[in-house]
Amino acid sequence: MKPFILPFICCVFALPMLAQNHYWNQQYGATNTLCGGAEIAGVRDNSALFYNPGAMGFITTNKISLSANIYEANIVKLKNVAGEGRDAQSFRALIYPQFIGGSYVFKKVPKLKIIYATMMRNRASVRFSVQNETNYDVIKGSPGLEYYKSRLDFDYSSVETWGGIGFGYKINEHFSTGVSLFTSYTNLENITTVALSADATFATVPYIATVDQYASLRMDHVNFIGKIGFAADFKPFLFGLTITLPSAKIFGTGTMTKSLEGHNLNLHSADTVSPFFQYPSFLVSDQQKNLSTQYKQPASFAIGAEYKWKRVKLKFACEYFLSLPSYEVVHGKEESYIRPTSAYGGKTLKGFMVVKTNAVQVFNVSVGGAFRFVKNFKVLTGFRTDFNNLMSFSPTQLNVGVNSFNPSYWHLMHVGLGVSYNKGASDITVGFNYAFGIAADRRNGINLNEPTQEGFLRGETEKNLRTNVNNIGLIIGYTYYFRSNLRGNEDTKQQQVIEW
């Protein structure tokens, strides 16, 4: 056995999203991205490890590919995210390697192909602040309007990296099968701070009612993920099928820090009905480390087809992701006492150190095409959906009968357009990928308008959220075809013509 290493490197400079919510946000390779990621049937490079391990058996050309995706995007705008007229915006630029891979070739078993790689599956970073400063009738027992000041700070970042190895076997001229085995590492950090206050008067004595909330979650989680693939080649038609198994936990640990405190909230006790307001002030605060974490990734089923006719190549792929019922991401000990304990009788706030999430089912579709107008020049185009699974890792969840902060969600629609030029043993690909967002849930995360004492100095959330997410990226790719190939006797140029 003689190893032959084929690096495949891709870097991206991207507009960050809450990427755990988008299964198809990342694609691998300049050509694949511009063609909408519709590669389940026709993929013939190292990215088959991810798209379809069953296609690895049909890979016949050794090549090295380098590509860079440079995304320059407009600012993400979340209109009414904290109530009518309380808007937020976020833009944070990131650069990171997207895909690095290679392969082993067994000369004695030419039908067997092995590919290994590490890939950036998800990376997200969103940060914004919203505040409101005006006069409201917050506390009914206090004469006139109260001066009200509120602020929300949200900071979310996550990185998910996969490393894996795949085995592909060419059964015969028409069929190939394979399996990919991945280990995924996820690092997630989420910090939310809410500060609310109202100036009021009690028996001519001025005072300030306040509610402050802090919630942070940091977790490191490792999963195992398996993918089975099948590919069929009946030129000019190609077909592909993949089954991604649900993740299995290997290791997970996290730290959660939370506090919720209120002061002078029931000086006019007739105004409040919540049993939580037994005394003018309260504090619930806790930090727990080395918590066991759970991050589930659902099973999915994908099919694809590709058709080549003269100078035209048409591609299609779709993937269905199963839903995930509600489960606990972290569950800390029930030891978050409501203070002062002497006043509240040693009670704890049940579920204070628990984070739950779930995921809705998702069905994504992609279509793409490659059109060769002249001998060494082709146009690439594609479209793909990227629907949101509505998964949340926010540690702000409360069990006190009032609305807590919830993150915003949006679907993404991607359109790609570019060109690829061949000269000698090299391909150069240049193009643009444009994505726009559509609100997936129009309920705002928190309402800093019309606050009430019973609502912890915040208002009822409304369904008036609007998103303005626009993302345009410049994609550049380079591919070099080695003069030796897996079949050993065929000319490199002939292989390029087959692929083109």
Measured distance CA(146)–CA(137) in Å, rounded: 6
- Cβ-based neighbours of 276, under 8 Å, separated by 6 or more: 282, 400, 401
List, as one string, the DSSP characters of 283-316: EEEEEEEEEEB------EEEEEEEEEETTEEEEE
Q: Measured between alpha carbons, how far is 86 from 132 in angstroms, rounded to an integer?
A: 7
CB 92 within 8 A of CB 113: no
Q: What is the pTM of this model?
A: 0.88
CA nearest neighbour of 480 among 429, 416, 417:
429
Q: What are phi and psi of 375, to 5 degrees?
A: -55, -45
Closest CA to 76 of 428, 356, 321, 439: 439
Question: What is the end-to-end Cα distance of the chain in Å, rounded?
Answer: 31
pLDDT at 355: 93
How long a stretch of residues is the chain? Answer: 500
- The predicted pLDDT at position 75 comes to 63
Residue-wise pLDDT tens for the chain (500 aa)? Answer: 343 333 333 433 333 344 458 999 888 888 888 999 999 999 988 889 999 999 999 987 655 555 555 555 556 788 898 899 999 887 766 665 677 777 777 778 889 999 988 888 888 788 889 999 999 999 888 889 999 999 999 998 899 999 999 999 999 999 999 999 999 999 999 999 999 999 999 888 999 999 999 999 999 999 999 999 999 999 999 999 999 999 999 999 999 999 999 999 877 666 555 656 778 889 999 999 999 999 999 999 999 999 998 889 999 999 999 999 999 999 999 888 988 888 888 888 888 999 999 999 999 999 999 999 888 899 999 999 999 999 888 888 776 666 677 777 889 999 999 999 988 778 888 999 888 888 888 888 899 999 998 888 999 888 898 888 888 778 887 777 665 544 344 444 544 555 55
pLDDT of residue 494: 46
At residue 33, the 3 state secondary structure works out as helix
pLDDT at res. 380: 96
Report the candidate in 102, 67, 68, 64 with the shortest Cα–Cα distance to residue 480.
64
**Domains of the chain in sequence order:** 8-499 (2.40.160.60)
Neighbours of 491 (CB within 10 A): 10
CB hemisphere CA count around 171 (13 angstroms): 12
Q: Which residues pair with 239 in a beta bridge?
A: 232, 305
How far apart, in whole angstroms, are the C-alpha atoms of residue 169 and residue 178?
Answer: 6
Query: What are the respective helix, strand and coil percentages of the chain, to the nearest 5?
Result: 5, 60, 35
Element spanning 216, H or E: strand 205-234
- Other Cβ atoms within 10 Å of 76 Cβ, number: 23
Say if residues 184 and 167 touch (Cβ distance below 8 Å): no
CA distance 235 to 239: 10
What lies within 8 Å, CB to CB, of 310 at 6+ separation is none
In DSSP terms, 263 is beta-bridged to: 210
**How far is the C-alpha of 131 from the C-alpha of 485, rounded, in Å?**
61
- 353 neighbors 332 (Cβ within 8 angstroms): yes
Residue 103 pLDDT: 78
CA distance 482 to 158: 37
pLDDT of residue 150: 96
